[in-house]
Structure 1
Amino acid sequence: MTNSKAGSDTDSDPEATTSTDWANAIGDGGLVVVSNRQPYSHTYDGDDIAVEVHAGGLTAGLDPVMQAVGGTWIAWGDGDADREVVDENDCVPAPPDDPGYTLRRVWLDDDEVDDYYYGFSNQVLWPICHSALTNVTEWERYWEQYQSVNERFVDAVADHADPGDIVWFQDYHFALAPAIARERLDDDTVLMQFWHIPWPAWDTFRGCPHGEAIVEGVLGNDLLVFHVPRYRENFLHCVERVLDDATVDHETGTVRYDGGTTQVTEFPMGVEVDKIARRARSEEADEFWADFTEKYRVADTVALGVDRLDYSKGIPERLRALEQFWERNPEWRGKLTYVEKGSETRSRIDSYQQVQDQIEAGVERVNDRFGTDDWTPVLSFDEYISPTALASLYSHSDLALVSPIRDGMNLVAQEYVAAQVDDDGVLILSDQAGAGSILDAALLVTPQNTGAFTDAIERALTMRGAERRARMQRLREQVSENDLATWTGLNLRAAMALRDGDGSATEPGLPTGGQP
């Protein structure tokens, strides 16, 4: 069996991620994580089977915890060789090279993937939560498959969760699962969920097909966590409008409904700050940058965007601001290169394909208008690069343009800050990203305000060195205080407080953000 890394720009290092002995902290109970995407998949590599490490932020935060606890991670088995390595219970040890926990795979056929994942999850819930009502497409089969797949995942949970365990659902793919699990599992089992994307205001959410069932589903949790306070408040207001029988306490963040109590709070997700900084300082990072600049002949000043090619990321708006910048500041032509590191996503959905076509047209328009034989204003590429290469891009970029129309948190902004080991970069950040509530030394912009966005680019490029360094030092402090290990600890400590009776859904002492 061979090993390979694929599909992500971050990896994981268990010892660096957390030094907490989670096995002792969680005590007698175990941990069951439920996510749509699995941390490891198996694929054919000729006659061999290779392991692909899907090591995004979620895996980086939870994989070392799972290794310490020895619990079960339940996820969709999407690798073409996944069935070849599981046992009779659809389980395989993980990580493959040094097993520490069980990976339980749930199998989905093509219709289920189309309707549960590409359908209801990403053509109903995703656009609703990102306030993109015009992109909502709903068919009855989407809802039927979403219900069915949520029930299937709960079947897997029931096979592995014991009384006293913590079951941690991840994200919007499993809005119905907590209520289903609440009916089937022991009352001593703690159900919790982290909602990684925004929760919209009531006036938007009321357009959600089956919205009442969605709210009832997530209220099956004992603990429901969002990134920032405004999503928490949006959810509590939606509960009040949707469920007449619910009792909502905004001060303590508790909801009582149908005989149960849900604690609702916010813990901002972070990144592995120290690891990213080490990568940025490495010889491999320097070698990548030397090769990159030789291959592409970038200008002396570099602006960077790192995005999934998604309509929520504000990339066409960013290109308009850059176009106006070069129009207003011809002296910067030939002196500034904008690098767009994109990752194609969900292209089979029309709204995604449309924005990807729009981005491609925008890049061509700007380059045709301003480019010369010796200089290309916008360099756009989507091939995979290693985590260290990405850290190199971050550290060598003079400014980062992070301009989502709506985003739950946006870890790219934090990764850029973590890689700024010389404190020279400037972060331009959308005020519609959750990170905008935390990173107060960034230059905040409203992505659709092209003139103000252009002003921010001009300010970033002409900012005095002392101000740049002071702002970046402040940002690095904020990112370090809210790193990935802190986020993991806050979530699990809150769940354990509920389980062990050290805190309750009626006590204000249960943490609602920051260190417990």
Structure 2
Amino acid sequence: MPWTREQLASSVRDSLRGRKLIIVSNREPYIHRFAGRVISWSKAVSGLVTALDPVARAVNALWIAHGSGDADRVNVDEKGRLSVPPDSAEYWLRRVWLTKEQVDGYYYGYANQAIWPLSHIAYRKPRFLREHWEHYEDVNKLFADAVLEEFGPGDDLVVLQDYHLARAAFHIKANRPNAMVGLFWHIPWPNAEVFRICPQKQELLEGLLANDLLGFHIRYHCHNFLETVEEELEAKVNWEEMSVLYKGHKTLIRPFPISVDFDGIVSLASTSQVQSVVDKLPEIIEPSYEFLLLGVGRLDYTKGLVEKFLAVDRFLERYPEYRGKVVLLQVCALSRIRIPEYKELVDNLHALAEQINWKYRENGWHPIVLAINRFSKAEEYNALYQAANVCLVTSLHDGLNLVAKEFVSSRVDEDGVLVLSRFTGAARELEDALLVNPFDVDGLADAIHVGITMPAEERKRRMVRMRNVVAEKNIYRWAANFISKLLEVADRKKQ
């Protein structure tokens, strides 16, 4: 039976026995901004937030995150706290304030110009600058200090999120050695040969090994981490237990494939608001089409956007009968634009889309629509998923990729085709997708053709099986597995 929000809440509350669950991430789940003189709020567009917001609601957690909105300081108490979501108040958010220099050095610098390219096989050279590392270390201390201030008299559980906070557990444990801390690493972990180029490799590994539980999406990334530790540290690696003993402290390493709130997405898909958007999409999306290809995600060089556009070009070359009939709508949320590689990617995508559109433009039709920051609401994304004939997930390398699971969950009609990169963690679970190598543009073009021409019975058969997988392995099961394993470690330490 699939886990439900109610089951998770009941199970975790019983297991916590009065202890608080503290979630810590760089990105905040809800952001306040000024719209003229009016303050508006929105839910962050993030796979991490998509996954963890239902968990925080279910267990009445405390979430600590960077307050990045220009109106974030208005509605908080003296410690930077407020109840969220703003329209229903189900848990507490504590905002951590960073200077522009800290954001540039820690987030745009070390996290996303060093760790991010180091961890993804997308052939971008990492940039290691000492001043970026110093900001990264300082900000991790700030987050650790916020956690320590929020600790109650009991043994609260801390769940750190992602590569931005690799050093936070180290600083938490320096002040509270018996604190129970787990970290979930949302991106791939590179092999040992790649990781060895990092100048701060020992500090990063020591920070991660200060956690009691360290989670990755898939077992392969766990193995990469264990091999890295064997190569770089004088530590005892227990492959059978999948643990590391370093300086007297044991860290368990486990795979926890993250997921989505399947039932919540299904409920949203059936609402009149979503159906209204679905009905209006043919008027909203220009030019007109018979077959809609859809891409959704952050604008990032790891997502295979250039390869996707080239595949559409090759598809139209090889299957000219679909000219005037097929449109790719690529929906992107602008991301990390202060980093030169990301700004260059935006420029390149616009230029490539224009080049391909010019090549095929005829009678008002063109094949590619690049929609950057055009859609932002959950209802809109859900409607787009339902309207698409084929959803293209072409990541060059991805820890998991929740877009694939969101698309499958949204398809209450049990129709549609998912084309999915083999280099995503989701490909290990969604075996009924059309699995592709995004570096193979010809193969990707052929997969588009297979998706468009797939018989209805086969589309349904594949979609039903994928929906069953996502329904069974939903976000609540992921949270229950991670938190219960961390609680199990805590109970063992007390014995």
TM-score (norm 2): 0.94
Counterpart of 1:346 in structure 2 is 336
Distance 2:275 2:370 in 1: 21
SS of the residue corresponding to residue 131 of structure 1 reads coil
Distance 2:448 2:435 in 1: 11
Report how far residue 41 of structure 1 moved.
Answer: 2.9
**CA deviation map 1:455-488 (0-9, x unaligned):** 2122222222222211111111111122111111
Deviates more, 1:281-290 or 1:337-346: 281-290
Letter paired with 1:230: Y
Report how far residue 70 of structure 1 moved.
Answer: 4.1
Equivalent pair of 2:430/2:469 in contact (CA under 8 Å) = yes
Query: In structure 2, which of residues 379, 385, 390 is the aligned counterpart of residue 394 of structure 1?
Result: 385
Report the CA distance shift for 1:208/1:470 in structure 2 as closer, same or farther (over 3 A).
same
Report how far residue 260 of structure 1 moved.
Answer: 0.2
SS of the residue corresponding to residue 324 of structure 2 reads coil
**CA deviation map 1:353-381 (0-9, x unaligned):** 11222211221111111121232211221
Distance 1:499 1:83 in 2: 36
Counterpart of 2:425 in structure 1 is 434
Counterpart of 1:149 in structure 2 is 139
Report how far residue 29 of structure 1 moved.
Answer: 1.6
Report how far residue 279 of structure 1 moved.
Answer: 2.6
1:403 aligns with 2:403: no
Report how far residue 87 of structure 1 moved.
Answer: 2.4
1:255 aligns with 2:232: no
Report how far residue 66 of structure 1 moved.
Answer: 3.5
SS of the residue corresponding to residue 345 of structure 1 reads coil
Report how far residue 67 of structure 1 moved.
Answer: 4.3
Equivalent pair of 1:33/1:169 in contact (CA under 8 Å) = yes
Deviates more, 1:90-99 or 1:459-468: 90-99
Letter paired with 1:287: S
1:168 aligns with 2:159: yes
Letter paired with 2:246: Y
Counterpart of 1:418 in structure 2 is 409
In structure 1, stretches of 5+ residues that fail to align are: 1-13, 505-516
Report the CA distance shift for 1:57/1:342 in structure 2 as closer, same or farther (over 3 A).
closer
Equivalent pair of 1:200/1:231 in contact (CA under 8 Å) = yes
Report the CA distance shift for 1:337/1:97 in structure 2 as closer, same or farther (over 3 A).
closer
Report how far residue 69 of structure 1 moved.
Answer: 4.1
Counterpart of 1:477 in structure 2 is 468
Counterpart of 1:270 in structure 2 is 259
Report the CA distance shift for 1:46/1:326 in structure 2 as closer, same or farther (over 3 A).
closer
**CA deviation map 1:177-219 (0-9, x unaligned):** 11221121141x2110000111111121122231121111100
Equivalent pair of 1:133/1:204 in contact (CA under 8 Å) = no
Distance 2:476 2:280 in 1: 33
| Aligned-residue RMSD, C-alpha | 2.1
**CA deviation map 1:368-427 (0-9, x unaligned):** 111212322112212133211211111111111100001111000111111122222111
Report the CA distance shift for 1:388/1:94 in structure 2 as closer, same or farther (over 3 A).
closer
Distance 2:59 2:343 in 1: 41
Report the CA distance shift for 1:492/1:275 in structure 2 as closer, same or farther (over 3 A).
same
Counterpart of 1:131 in structure 2 is 121
Report how far residue 453 of structure 1 moved.
Answer: 1.4
User: What is the 5 A alignment of 1:92-107?
Assistant: 92-107=82-97
1:241 aligns with 2:231: yes
Letter paired with 2:402: L
SS of the residue corresponding to residue 92 of structure 1 reads strand
SS of the residue corresponding to residue 85 of structure 1 reads coil
User: What is the 5 A alignment of 1:180-195?
Assistant: 180-187=171-178, 189-195=179-185
Report how far residue 134 of structure 1 moved.
Answer: 3.4
Equivalent pair of 1:161/1:167 in contact (CA under 8 Å) = no
Report how far residue 50 of structure 1 moved.
Answer: 3.3
Distance 2:391 2:266 in 1: 16
Distance 1:444 1:324 in 2: 18
Equivalent pair of 1:17/1:272 in contact (CA under 8 Å) = no
Deviates more, 1:83-92 or 1:368-377: 83-92
Report the CA distance shift for 1:133/1:216 in structure 2 as closer, same or farther (over 3 A).
farther
User: What is the 5 A alignment of 1:5-154?
Assistant: 20=10, 22-54=12-44, 56-67=46-57, 69-132=59-122, 134-154=124-144
Distance 1:288 1:71 in 2: 33
Report how far residue 340 of structure 1 moved.
Answer: 0.8
**CA deviation map 1:271-322 (0-9, x unaligned):** 1112222333333223213322123243111111112111000011111111
Distance 1:393 1:271 in 2: 17
Distance 1:280 1:23 in 2: 30
Report the CA distance shift for 1:39/1:134 in structure 2 as closer, same or farther (over 3 A).
closer
Report the CA distance shift for 1:292/1:94 in structure 2 as closer, same or farther (over 3 A).
closer
Deviates more, 1:388-397 or 1:47-56: 47-56
Counterpart of 1:448 in structure 2 is 439
SS of the residue corresponding to residue 443 of structure 2 reads helix
Equivalent pair of 1:303/1:339 in contact (CA under 8 Å) = yes
**CA deviation map 1:314-347 (0-9, x unaligned):** 0111111111110011111112111111111111
Distance 1:247 1:96 in 2: 47
Equivalent pair of 2:213/2:486 in contact (CA under 8 Å) = yes
SS of the residue corresponding to residue 297 of structure 2 reads strand
Report the CA distance shift for 1:141/1:452 in structure 2 as closer, same or farther (over 3 A).
same
SS of the residue corresponding to residue 423 of structure 2 reads coil
Equivalent pair of 1:17/1:64 in contact (CA under 8 Å) = no
Letter paired with 1:391: N
Q: Which structure's relative contact order is higher, taking Cα pairs within 8 Å and 6+ residues apart?
A: 2
SS of the residue corresponding to residue 119 of structure 1 reads helix
SS of the residue corresponding to residue 75 of structure 1 reads strand
Report the CA distance shift for 1:332/1:127 in structure 2 as closer, same or farther (over 3 A).
same
Distance 2:326 2:361 in 1: 11
Distance 1:134 1:411 in 2: 23
Report how far residue 502 of structure 1 moved.
Answer: 9.6
SS of the residue corresponding to residue 385 of structure 1 reads coil
Equivalent pair of 1:74/1:105 in contact (CA under 8 Å) = yes
Counterpart of 1:511 in structure 2 is none
Letter paired with 1:485: Y
TM-score (norm 1): 0.90
Equivalent pair of 1:133/1:207 in contact (CA under 8 Å) = no
Report the CA distance shift for 1:107/1:425 in structure 2 as closer, same or farther (over 3 A).
same
Report how far residue 109 of structure 1 moved.
Answer: 0.5
Counterpart of 1:465 in structure 2 is 456
